[in-house]
Structure 1
Amino acid sequence: MTITLGQVLIRILEDYGVEHVFGIPGIHTVELYRGLAASSIRHITPRHEQGAGFMADGYARASGKPGVCFIITGPGMTNVATALGQAYSDSVPMLVLSSVHARNHLGAGNAGSGRLHELRSQQALVAGLTAFSHTLMQPDDLPVALARAFAVFDSARPRPVHIEIPLDLIGADASHLSPKSLVRSRKPLAGQPSIDDAAAWLAGAARPLILAGGGAVHAASALRALAEHLQAPTALTVHAKGLLPAAHPLLLGSTQSTEPTRQLVREADVVLAVGTELGETDYDTVFDGGFGISGALIRVDIDADQLARNFAPTCTVLGDSADALERLCRALQQAPARPPGTPPSHAPAGEASAWGACRVHAVRAQLESAWDLPFKAQRHYLETVLAELPDALFAGDSTQPVYQGNLAIDMPGPRRWFNSSTGYGTLGYGLPAAIGAQLAAPDRPVVCLIGDGGLQFTLPELASAVEAGLAPIILLWNNGGYEEIRRCMRQRDIRPIGVDLYTPDFQLLARGFGCDACRADDASALRRALRQARSGTRDRPVLIETSQAHWHAHAYAADRQTATTPPGPLHGDTDA
């Protein structure tokens, strides 16, 4: 009995542990689906290929496993390109399997012949958005191409991979191929000399500080042990939230773009940067070039190229961050013991009392005194959600509460706060990413944080969630347009144009898609809506819409009441 290449593909994906694929079947990809119905892999159908990519991205971030997409030739590839850009920028493992025209129709010389879904070169389209793009030229190439893809996911900086299968190969006989995957690779480990060098710098530090990024998301226990041993203030990038739990005395949060944290970084004599690009969207969101490192810089990264970017290192450690941190901690623990919180013996007297948790507390107090009322109002919005859903996972878009949450909200564990406001910075990501995350975390509440502008990019994906029986909680922050750009225009003395949007009746639209919907413009209403969303067994999304103007009005009133009637929380229930 003939086994096609498409069928072998499904069997190999199963062997790699793939549980979900996201895609929209098309005339060029139907052969990929021949073996899908009899497999253990669940297919999720988005309403747009960009949604497929964002779903795969959210699934990958929540699970740590690569998200897989089946994408049609031509327009499917141009549609998924934006999602590839976001995943590439944020180092997210994603496998895009697409069709492409028959082998005898490939190449620039054959372009322009008027074939269906024709692109001059799909590889050229995604060259800058993937770790690599590969065209199968014979059936036997498939296992090797997939092994290369999973080698990237398993043992390198994880980024998207694209594999395209010519139309004359998808349905070709591949009975001779083994459906088994090749041996999985492991992350490379740093050489001992570089570990020793880094340990020597840290052992001699009087004012050590740690900057950790998404490349350390799997290294929470090792990072915490090292931070506590060094008594090092620790700042986390947005996608590293939770590596130190919320309220940890050494946690600076994700405040690297604020002056108090920047000043602390400048005072550090040794900075350990692990799994982070030290890039603009985590360290300079105010775009003033004000982030700097004055002390020695140790960089730990799995990507050799990244070790030399943005800030020149004093010492480098090339390898897996979890292994490197564990070995650094062991090396330091074997050094002569000193009481927790005390600096090395050569440090100036009194150094211990001026660093570590003491300085973190002072920085946080400075920041708290500087937050304005709009910031506090939106932080209260997020704190209300966390109080009701302490185990929630947040998939966010580019929207006001996400911007504030990036600065002000800390998570109890990793892989629970991610969004598209950093890196590539696309709109419309939040909803499909939440759908993917819900598949990865079916027993945990998944919250989509999205604005009225961003939701209109991918609103039809509500139907995808209903169809799949998934129940993310969609928190819609409605400020009638693109608030951040509106503010930017006003700051630059530009009359706002194109930012005040017509906003539809989202309640009506959500119900039309088969979702539940309600409004919550103050803390009490939001709590009631969240409790109702969490109660019982739900198989459909709920959209909870909040008016920015109304929420701020209630929060300001509560703030004024608190100022005249102490003691009490900064923000209380205005309808109590």
Structure 2
Amino acid sequence: MTCAELLIRLLRDTYGVDTVFGIPGVHTVELYRGLDGGAEASGIRHITPRHEQGAGFMADGYARATGQPGVCFIITGPGMTNIATAMGQALADSVPMLVISSVSRRDTLGRGQGRLHELPSQQQMVAGLSRFSHTLLDPDGLPEALARAFAVFEGGRPGPVHIEIPIDLFDAPVDEPARWRRPSLASAAPDPDALKRAGDWLAVARRPLVLLGGGCVQEPEAARALVEVLDAPTVTTINAKGLLGIDHPLDLGANASLPAVRELARDADVVLAIGTELGETDYDVVFDDGFSLSGRLIRVDIDPEQLARNQSADLAMVADAGATLKALARRFGETPCQRDGVERARAVREMLGLVQDPAFTPYVPLFDTLRDTLPEAILVGDSCATTYAANHLVSQPAPRRFFNASTGYGTLGYGLPAAMGASLGQPELPVVALVGDGGIMFTLTELACAVEEGLPVVVVLWHNQGYEEIRRYMDSADVPRLGVDIQAPDFQMLAAGFGCAARRVGDPEALAAAIRGRPPQGPLLIEIDAGAWNASVQE
């Protein structure tokens, strides 16, 4: 067989890959020989986005919704520069993504001869956007390269991995490995002595606080058991939303940047932080460096470097988040501590007063409507007003049902294609994309792919006539508004041109009716006139 055919077999048979995202190019046609006949023949479904950035965002959404790596086939040069933004978002949020690309022939690498799609060093360009970037120089090394990638996805801190294959290797003959199995990786267990110290500190704590990040999403039962037995108020970050279930009495949500939660954090005598970076986009979205801890800090992360960033730990454990949650929960048994945790959490939520906060009140009926009409939906957000509000207001019934681009890298254009990836990965669940009239223009063309694949994504487009968030920053800094009051197209006409159903609404009742009347197949774009909506909810 050829190297390209071996790649498809290993992805399908050894690693269980069922979907890849990519745009065929002259340098990658041999990959498609291995995919010939589609999913029925190869067992792998190929999705063709309209831009490589869309491919990366789709792979990201697929990975977050399923827990399995999103896989992309990308051409040399412009394909890789196009997907770089999506890789940056996935790297910032520790999302497993495998990017297989072509690169120039081995005998021309780095020679600057003006070859088609040539970069001075594609591998060096991508290295800073990935956990590692590898150039395959021998087809017999392919199994090992893939094993390294999946070892990162399953045993370390996940993120994008890039493997580039010179175009003269795709059709090179290669023997099928006589024996090749997927490596079986056991979770990194916490050190027993460190675990005992952590347990001892938590046992005597009077005002404990738990911080749970996206690294915990694989073990919701253990997370819930631990916070309940500790009777501790708990911050669940944006990527951990739904970890404790919907409206859990100990869950303070992703509100660590707000004054009431910050006061609780400063007052805590022991803080347990598991699988969280303690980074700016979860703990300091007001950008004043105001999140501080005065009590003992216990940190758990699979990445030792992360344990030295942002907050100094009194006890740092390099360990798998899920294994640590289970071990700590077992240590405390089933008899809850009595620390008034539920009452403390309730008092903080009352102080937050989110549903009465003028900054959030216009969005409360939006998310009430979505919960009433699509209670099981995965919500996928762009960097936009509705997403920022959802970070504070929304509670989800399970993890992996809420994620967006406002964390980490903070790109625009993420919402629509990532929602499509989530729909492909979890076809039994409804998916809602939260987008704005500015950000949607980055990847609006992916509506064509959504129609082509019949993906039933509900695209909720909040139309507020430009870049509202940047307008507010300009106004607060006394900077003239330039470049933010942009002209929007006719979204209804554009959607119709793609063959996508579309509705324009201005109040919660019309939104509910549009959702209930959505087509059985294919996407629906619902454009919300923000001005009309705000007027209707203030009446």
Q: TM-score, normalised by structure 2?
A: 0.97
Unaligned runs of 5+ in 1: 343-351, 558-576
Alpha-carbon distance between aligned partners in 1 of 2:486 and 2:370, rounded to the nearest angstrom: 27
1:6 aligns with 2:4: yes
State the partner residue of 2:346.
361
**Contact 1:143-1:181 within 8 A present in 2 as well:** no
The amino acid of 2:216's aligned partner reads A
1:32 aligns with 2:14: no
Please state how far the C-alpha of 1:180 moved relative to its aligned partner.
Answer: 4.6
State the partner residue of 2:84.
81
Alpha-carbon distance between aligned partners in 2 of 1:155 and 1:265, rounded to the nearest angstrom: 31
Alpha-carbon distance between aligned partners in 2 of 1:44 and 1:130, rounded to the nearest angstrom: 23
Alpha-carbon distance between aligned partners in 1 of 2:189 and 2:412, rounded to the nearest angstrom: 37
State the partner residue of 1:59.
62
The amino acid of 1:507's aligned partner reads Q
The amino acid of 1:147's aligned partner reads A
The structure 2 residue matched to 1:546, chosen from 517, 528, 534, is: 528
Unaligned runs of 5+ in 2: none
Alpha-carbon distance between aligned partners in 1 of 2:354 and 2:20, rounded to the nearest angstrom: 47
Alpha-carbon distance between aligned partners in 1 of 2:266 and 2:52, rounded to the nearest angstrom: 44
Please state how far the C-alpha of 1:519 moved relative to its aligned partner.
Answer: 1.2
Alpha-carbon distance between aligned partners in 1 of 2:525 and 2:503, rounded to the nearest angstrom: 6
State the partner residue of 1:491.
476
Alpha-carbon distance between aligned partners in 2 of 1:267 and 1:184, rounded to the nearest angstrom: 43
Please state how far the C-alpha of 1:22 moved relative to its aligned partner.
Answer: 0.2
State the partner residue of 1:235.
235
The structure 2 residue matched to 1:101, chosen from 76, 100, 104, is: 104
Percent identity at matched positions?
56
State the partner residue of 1:571.
none
Q: TM-score, normalised by structure 1?
A: 0.91
Please state how far the C-alpha of 1:373 moved relative to its aligned partner.
Answer: 2.8
Please state how far the C-alpha of 1:178 moved relative to its aligned partner.
Answer: 4.9
**Contact 1:479-1:547 within 8 A present in 2 as well:** yes
State which drifts further: 185-194 or 368-377. 368-377
Alpha-carbon distance between aligned partners in 2 of 1:482 and 1:369, rounded to the nearest angstrom: 23
Describe the shift of the 1:544–1:369 C-alpha distance in structure 2 as closer, same or farther (beyond 3 A).
closer
Please state how far the C-alpha of 1:359 moved relative to its aligned partner.
Answer: 1.2
State the partner residue of 1:380.
365
The count of aligned residue pairs is 534
The amino acid of 2:89's aligned partner reads Q
Within-5 A mapping of 1:332-481: 332-333=332-333, 340-342=336-338, 352=339, 355-368=340-353, 371-481=356-466
1:508 aligns with 2:507: no
Alpha-carbon distance between aligned partners in 1 of 2:379 and 2:179, rounded to the nearest angstrom: 37
Moved over 2 A (4+): 175-187, 369-374
State the partner residue of 1:156.
156
Alpha-carbon distance between aligned partners in 1 of 2:3 and 2:178, rounded to the nearest angstrom: 11
Q: Give the secondary structure class of the aligned counterpart of 1:545.
A: strand
1:50 aligns with 2:53: yes
The amino acid of 1:50's aligned partner reads Q
The amino acid of 1:416's aligned partner reads R
**Contact 1:235-1:253 within 8 A present in 2 as well:** yes
Q: Give the secondary structure class of the aligned counterpart of 2:364.
A: helix
**Contact 2:6-2:176 within 8 A present in 1 as well:** no
Alpha-carbon distance between aligned partners in 2 of 1:247 and 1:324, rounded to the nearest angstrom: 24
Alpha-carbon distance between aligned partners in 2 of 1:40 and 1:195, rounded to the nearest angstrom: 44
State the partner residue of 1:562.
none
Q: Give the secondary structure class of the aligned counterpart of 2:138.
A: coil
Please state how far the C-alpha of 1:503 moved relative to its aligned partner.
Answer: 0.5
State which drifts further: 147-156 or 238-247. 238-247
Post-superposition CA distance 1:431-476 (Å, at most 9, x none) = 0001100001101110000000011000110001111121100000
Q: Aligned-pair RMSD on alpha carbons? A: 1.3
**Contact 1:154-1:186 within 8 A present in 2 as well:** no
**Contact 2:354-2:360 within 8 A present in 1 as well:** no
Please state how far the C-alpha of 1:176 moved relative to its aligned partner.
Answer: 4.3
**Contact 1:396-1:448 within 8 A present in 2 as well:** yes
Bigger-Rg structure (1/2):
1
Alpha-carbon distance between aligned partners in 1 of 2:178 and 2:11, rounded to the nearest angstrom: 12
Q: Give the secondary structure class of the aligned counterpart of 1:501.
A: coil
Please state how far the C-alpha of 1:185 moved relative to its aligned partner.
Answer: 2.2
Alpha-carbon distance between aligned partners in 2 of 1:142 and 1:369, rounded to the nearest angstrom: 52
1:18 aligns with 2:9: no
State the partner residue of 1:566.
none
State the partner residue of 2:204.
204
State the partner residue of 2:282.
282
Q: Give the secondary structure class of the aligned counterpart of 1:170.
A: coil
Please state how far the C-alpha of 1:322 moved relative to its aligned partner.
Answer: 1.2
Post-superposition CA distance 1:465-494 (Å, at most 9, x none) = 111121100000000110000111011101
Q: Give the secondary structure class of the aligned counterpart of 2:331.
A: helix
Please state how far the C-alpha of 1:372 moved relative to its aligned partner.
Answer: 3.1
The amino acid of 1:82's aligned partner reads T
Within-5 A mapping of 1:179-328: 180-328=180-328
Alpha-carbon distance between aligned partners in 2 of 1:426 and 1:379, rounded to the nearest angstrom: 25
